[in-house]
Structure 1
């Protein structure tokens, strides 16, 4: 088995929750896209990252069923793990910074995969939603406190690959921030926290806490 780290990204203030992420630091160990796709499917995380150049931050991102040019929680987690100021994704360069307990990235909304942003009247409605059948990727959200920018959200990938609900989804948070044009404090899934802020020239920052869950034996 190829060595890989497991992170939890967008954790709650107590370090709990967060979305698991697999990171293969030595991407050269699995060079072919077909092999990477197979490995990502075997791990079963919502995303797995292959690092092709740790110093330059060149990465390759996969779900269990497809390759992604960009994704939010993989970039936030990998930037934290590699401690770099930039990641290079197929979509474009992603700025990165650490600020206290938070790892931040800066990306563009048009890089995010398609998501259906579906607003509900109350957070309780979002909490009560059943998992929809496979189909479109749905980001269900409602204001918890509109004046304070606090949002309750859940993410349903709609994929037939065993992932019914995404615990924390940076790309969807990026799209919602761009649509609303304001900073957000999002509670997603069972209790994950995502922070966002619009930036000049159409960029959006996404930040969260990262915890190292597992690292390879050295």
Structure 2
């Protein structure tokens, strides 16, 4: 990540903990016209080095474009929560589809579908302590986590999780993107929380990374809400 983001880029932290700390860093380019083609957007996302960077193509309609340092994404959780909070939007339009937004006190919520999230291996561990003690896997070790390599030879995304309080829906998690783009571990991952909520079919309170917090709740017709706190850096 560059030391000082270029002019015209807001930097947020999304899914902050109760004390306002942690959260996953996000770059938001308010005027997407400054980077009109995919090549220039990909180059800027690579330069910034955030897990994702959002380009706003229409701030009134909420049309956005999401890039990691190495690829364009049709959907991602923390970028959509972050840009919706920053621009005070009621709906966001990433390539995956229409995403509705609501504000609830200090939390910003989006409604999405699990099938929009990129594939990811959800690996359950016996205890939160086991998850916390995991080393960031080297590329040659990721097969041990049950994650097959992609056709490009990169090891796939994995989400390590364990119950902290099953009755209360509290989970400890860590995410290893495995994209080979310099992001070895995600501090907070809304798309993974979406997939885990769909699998468990219940509301969750997830602590990920160093102390980020993600809340989820199943909704009607297969939708899932994902919510969290956002702070401007």
TM-score by length of 2: 0.90
CA–CA separation in structure 2 for the residues paired with 1:132 and 1:12: 25
The question of 1:189 aligning with 2:209 is answered: yes
Q: Which runs of 5+ in 2 are unaligned?
A: 1-5, 140-154
Match in the other structure for 1:216: none
Where has structure 1 moved over 6 Å in runs of 4 or more?
A: none
Match in the other structure for 1:29: 34
Aligned CA-pair RMSD: 0.7
SS in 2 for 1:92: coil
How many pairs align? 213
Match in the other structure for 1:175: 195
Mean Cα deviation higher: 152-161 or 188-197: 152-161
Q: 2:121 aligns with which of 116, 120, 144?
A: 116
1:1-218 equivalences in 2 (<5 Å) = 1-134=6-139, 135-213=155-233
CA–CA separation in structure 1 for the residues paired with 2:11 and 2:119: 26
Q: Which runs of 5+ in 1 are unaligned?
A: 214-218
CA–CA separation in structure 2 for the residues paired with 1:95 and 1:115: 24
Give the Å deviation of 1:162: 1.3
CA–CA separation in structure 1 for the residues paired with 2:187 and 2:224: 20
Give the Å deviation of 1:159: 2.1
Asked if structure 2 preserves the Cα contact closer than 8 Å seen for 1:138 and 1:158, the reply is: yes
